Amino acid sequence: MRLKVLSWNIWINGYFDQVKDFLARADADIIGLQEVEADAPERDIIGFLTKLGYEHVFAPVPKTGKRKVNDGPALFSRRGLRNPAKHVLSNELSRCAVSADIDVRGEVLHVFSTHLLHTHQKYPEVQIEQIEDLIRLLPREKTILMGDFNATPDSPVILRMRSALNDTDLTGTPTWSMYPEGCDVCNPQSVNTRLDYIFTTPDLKVLSSRVEDSNASDHLPISAEIEV
């Protein structure tokens, strides 16, 4: 069976009406979102997708420092969710992953959405800890992992990830940043960096993958069509 999987960092400063419009049109079976806010009723993406027939699991992590927000990754499915779980990654500067099992005509699909710490594309010891914690959680079969890894294709984080799972898109097509405001430190001036990925175990067949088009966020959405 073919499934459309979509991953997107919707950005806490994103254009919410455009976010909703894109997700409604995307018609994805499984969606992994990042920077979903817990305390922003005016940006209730969970409520919006629930009305479209999606079930969800969500793991907000309160942030300190310059950005005092309570946001995190979320996972949505139109095929129901079983065994929803939240996983803390790393002891310091912690981020989370969410996971759930999805029944696809008798096959159990294990799906994860995550958002690693942004280290401004520098060597990331804490990211390595986060990715190792994450890899230990992953089942060895019928598994999809997606999210904003805040790491470039040639980084130790993504090279390590590719040693554990298959990258659905090896083109390195950039996904960030649509807006300079996407990072005060990096001050990006164009979409020239890949930070977002969908990975699968080798037993899942990837039929297609693409970087989608939207002006709603500083990140571009990515998708893959997968045969289970």
Nearest residue to 160 via CA among 191, 199, 218: 199
| CATH assignment at residue 223 | 3.60.10.10
The residues pairing with 47 across neighbouring beta strands, listed in sequence order, are: none
DSSP 106: T
For residue 208, how many C-alpha atoms fall within 13 Å in the half-sphere facing its CB?
A: 7
Q: What's the whole-number mean pLDDT along residues 105-121?
A: 95
Which pTM does this prediction carry? 0.97
Domain range enclosing 180: 2-227
Q: What's the whole-number mean pLDDT along residues 12-25?
A: 97
User: Which tens digit of pLDDT belongs to each residue from 54-103?
Assistant: 999 999 988 766 667 899 999 999 999 999 999 999 888 889 999 999 99
By DSSP bridging, strand 61-62 and strand 70-77 are antiparallel
Q: Total structural domains in the chain?
A: 1
User: Which tens digit of pLDDT belongs to each residue from 207-219?
Assistant: 999 999 999 999 9
Nearest residue to 34 via CA among 69, 79, 83: 69
Distance from C-alpha of 172 to C-alpha of 100, rounded to nearest angstrom? 28
pLDDT for residue 195 = 98
